[in-house]
Amino acid sequence: MNTLQNVSLFAVLMLVLSACLQAKPALIPSPPQVSAKSYILMDATSGEIIVEHNSSEQLPPASLTKMMTAYIVESEVAQGNINLFDEVPVSVKAWKTGGSKMFIKEGTKVLLEDLLKGVIIQSGNDASIALAEYVAGSEGAFADIMNQQAAVLGMRGSYFKNATGLPDEEHQSTAFDLAILARAIINDFPEQYALYSEKYFTYNNIRQPNRNRLLWRDKSVDGLKTGHTEAAGYCLVASAERDGMRLISVVMGTNSEDARARETQKLLNYGFRYYETHALYDAGHALTNARIWSGASDEVSMGVADQVVVTIPRGQKSELQAQMDIEPVIKAPLSVGDELGRLVVKLDDKIIVNEPLVALNSVEEGSFFKRIWDWIKLFFMSLFA
């Protein structure tokens, strides 16, 4: 692909993205020292990784597993396969399961909505198994669905053996994968995400608190999930929003409840203090027009198919540089979404955006005489080029 025309609108974009005044260099300190086996800090909107350490190391996720359990249940509800007001039967297996409990009773039926709260707020192993059996028929079959869903989300380092996170040598995930899952929970089912911020849930006259201490310490934190087993240590996936910017933090393998909250707070504070997120281009918005040959019309509008969002060091937006690389000769017919070039945005010579420029409108072939005339013009243009 050849780099070509700098159209007038491109100049406007350059003015927006690259201020005339020279910005001061970003003063970004080293990331904080975090006492955890593995951790990551990700922007929930752009997916940009701000800080990470051993984020692809496979570790036991403990009850962080229940994020996937809840995600699948929320997905089934959204598709209309199950309903929040369904009455779910409680099996002997669910009732007998050890560890953290919602305290449901074998032989009874419990509202699906209450079970979902029991999973998210109380981290109930019994509620997790009851939901798994209701959705898939058995916990083993539900684990198959969990692994299929993990593959769809791109969680390549995860393998699930159960719906609870109870110890199993093959049951593993990574900080990176859990950040991807948290991002999916937040973005795909925002109406259910509010459950992750609830501090208490009472069932069977037993009131239990959410184990995420940051819900009490930091008003910007509104989720997601804690986990603990002897093998996993103390783990926490948290999300917070400040001034329109949302971050996701994952810490795995800390040594106490207080430590997982403290180390998470370090990451969140660092990200919010030194980074910012900007939406640069909206999906479907025309960025430029390009010449079309042999078409019923002579121009096609071009833009990006998905919103372009970047997370960059605070105060560096004026240093962004945008460039559009467009195909030198574009011929009809064209369909909406056809790739016609690339949009490249750089910061300090580092490419941070490289997205396709696509056709925003279709262009049919022109008449026979129009095609011949354009062929003649292209022929002579190539001779003089």
Q: What is the pLDDT of residues 52-95, one digit of tens each?
A: 999 999 999 999 999 999 999 999 999 999 999 999 999 999 99
pLDDT at 19: 44
Name the active-site residue from 38, 46, 55, 63.
63
CA 87 to CA 83: how far, in whole Å?
Answer: 9
CA 65 to CA 122: how far, in whole Å?
Answer: 14
CATH 2.60.410.10 fits 8-19+280-384, yes or no: yes
Q: With a cut of 60, say whether residue 207 has pLDDT above it.
A: yes
For the residues 34-45, what does the mean pLDDT come to?
98
Name the active-site residue from 38, 55, 100, 123.
123
For the residues 213-222, what does the mean pLDDT come to?
97
Name the active-site residue from 46, 55, 66, 317.
66
In DSSP terms, which residues pair with 39 in a beta bridge?
53, 251
* 362 included as an active-site residue: no
- Domain boundary assignment for the chain: 8-19+280-384, 47-220
pLDDT at 1: 44
What is the bridge-based pairing of β-strands 109-111 and 87-89?
antiparallel
Q: What is the mean pLDDT of the chain?
A: 92
**Percentage, residues of the chain above pLDDT 70:** 93
26: confidence class by pLDDT, cuts 50, 70, 90: low
What are 317-367's pLDDT values in tens digits? 999 999 999 999 889 899 999 999 999 999 988 999 999 999 999 999 878
| Buried/exposed 70-97: b ≥16 CB within 10 Å, e otherwise | bbbbbbbbeeeebeeeeebebbeebbeb
24: confidence class by pLDDT, cuts 50, 70, 90: low
pLDDT at 368: 83
pLDDT at 5: 41
**CATH superfamily ID and name for 47-220:** DD-peptidase/beta-lactamase superfamily (3.40.710.10)
- Does the pTM surpass 0.85? The reply is yes
* 8 included as an active-site residue: no
CA 110 to CA 205: how far, in whole Å?
Answer: 14
Q: With a cut of 90, say whether residue 260 has pLDDT above it.
A: yes
* 219 included as an active-site residue: no
10: confidence class by pLDDT, cuts 50, 70, 90: very low
